[in-house]
Structure 1
Amino acid sequence: MKIKLYLALLLAAGLLFACGDSEKSAEQLKPYEGPMQEAEDLELFYSESATLKVKLITDKLLEYASGNREFPEGMYMEFYDENGVLTSTFKANEAVYYKEENKWRGRGDVQLKNIENKQELDTEELFWKPDEEKMFTDKFVTIKLPDQTVYGTGLDAKQDFSDYTILKPEGVFSVDNNE
């Protein structure tokens, strides 16, 4: 009789602990927030009226339910004009596209080159808002021009890099007094 009572108590205690564990497990379950799609070794082309506008190359792309895209292993982009001529390139060690804000962020050895004007921007982080046609950063920047190199912290620029402002310039600058 004692053995049956002992087994019954042991079984009841086991059921109580099992129920408690399943309640805890249900509380610990969280919605999945990871990527919905993954792609590797990807080349994407965007064209308008059969003219190539943008070429994107990446080793890895993660796309989330929100529409955000992450390029954890870096990305390289080429931009073309209306005649299909390469105008600029963009490279970053990692990048993120925020769909809701329509904003890109490149980080880690970010390089933007304007082929036509022979200008190059180097920084550790750069944001790009295509709708506003502007780029910006609050990080240190180096801009290489054909005849000089300019340094500073912070940048606001047109997306084609035809006009830019370094917020806190540093170093020695050439000034043309003929203007």
Structure 2
Amino acid sequence: MPTVNLKNSKVLMAMLMVIGTFFMTCKNDMEVVQELGEEDTAPFQTVYDGHYTFTDSGRIRNVLLAGKLEQFIQDSDYTRVSAGLTLEIYDRAERVAGLLSADSGLYFEATNVMEAQGNVIFTNPSGDSLFTEQLIWLSDSNLIQTDKEVQIIRDGTEIRGKGMRANEDFSRYSILAPVGDITLPEDLTNDGSEEDQ
């Protein structure tokens, strides 16, 4: 039968305590590392007061002025603009076809979709203006849309509603749920009866 030496058991006990402490320390460090990984939402790149010109086949497509631009490369590449943005949208002849300003915005590279948020104003060269809190620009299909409240001013007339779809130069649009009073021209209100004359 083996004999237990008291001196050997003290050494063994000390070794077990050191090993136990080592594993407890590793566990805590792994938890910290895991928490840091979960909080890894820092942008890949940050630019202040940026001025960007986007081209396609050598032609200017858009010009962006951004107060603060942050690029992220986590699960999907996207760009966040804050501290104000102004976006000039150009047509094929490189003329300004639209001007968009907003408090902030997001651009999703994979889908080529931009979302402007907060005090969004969109104007076209004809002077027509759109005011809303959110506007989504589907660049590949040249469409802009929102499901939020909209106010449109065209030729001095104000139109309000909820939800809107338009082409990117805002020359054609439809309001999904218009509200308010609409004044019709006199020739459309006259039913042709003798009493009106």
Counterpart residue identity of residue 24, structure 2: F
Once residues 163 and 61 of structure 1 are traced to their aligned partners in structure 2, the CA distance between those partners, rounded to angstroms, is 31
Once residues 141 and 99 of structure 1 are traced to their aligned partners in structure 2, the CA distance between those partners, rounded to angstroms, is 27
TM-score normalised by length of structure 1:
0.83
1:108 is the counterpart of 2:115: no
1:37-75 deviation digits (Å, cap 9, x = unpaired): 111111112346766443211111111113311102221
Higher helix fraction (1 or 2) = 2
Once residues 81 and 27 of structure 2 are traced to their aligned partners in structure 1, the CA distance between those partners, rounded to angstroms, is 41
Which region of structure 1 is more displaced relative to structure 2, 121-130 or 82-91?
82-91
The 3 A distance-change label for structure 1 pair 27 and 54 is closer
Which region of structure 1 is more displaced relative to structure 2, 10-19 or 161-170?
10-19
TM-score normalised by length of structure 2:
0.76
1:119 is the counterpart of 2:128: yes
Which region of structure 1 is more displaced relative to structure 2, 158-167 or 46-55?
46-55
* Residue ranges of structure 2 left out of the alignment (5+ in a row): 1-5, 189-197
Q: Which has the larger radius of gyration?
A: 2
1:78 is the counterpart of 2:85: no
Counterpart residue identity of residue 18, structure 1: T
The 3 A distance-change label for structure 1 pair 12 and 130 is closer
1:126-176 deviation digits (Å, cap 9, x = unpaired): 000011111111100000112310000000111111110000000011334
Alignment partner of 2:68 out of 60, 74, 92: 60
CA contact (8 A) 2:161 2:175 kept: yes
User: What SS does the aligned partner of 1:72 have?
Assistant: strand
1:133 is the counterpart of 2:142: yes
Counterpart residue identity of residue 163, structure 2: G
The 3 A distance-change label for structure 1 pair 44 and 12 is closer
The 3 A distance-change label for structure 1 pair 23 and 90 is closer
* CA RMSD after TM alignment: 2.8
The 3 A distance-change label for structure 1 pair 15 and 110 is same
The 3 A distance-change label for structure 1 pair 36 and 27 is closer
Aligned to 1:36: 44
Identity across matched positions, percent? 25
Once residues 61 and 114 of structure 2 are traced to their aligned partners in structure 1, the CA distance between those partners, rounded to angstroms, is 17
User: What SS does the aligned partner of 2:77 have?
Assistant: coil
Aligned residues: 177
Once residues 11 and 37 of structure 1 are traced to their aligned partners in structure 2, the CA distance between those partners, rounded to angstroms, is 44
Once residues 18 and 60 of structure 1 are traced to their aligned partners in structure 2, the CA distance between those partners, rounded to angstroms, is 41
Task: Give the Å deviation of 1:13.
Answer: 5.5
Once residues 167 and 53 of structure 2 are traced to their aligned partners in structure 1, the CA distance between those partners, rounded to angstroms, is 23
1:69-122 deviation digits (Å, cap 9, x = unpaired): 11022210123445554342100100000112211000000000112x220000
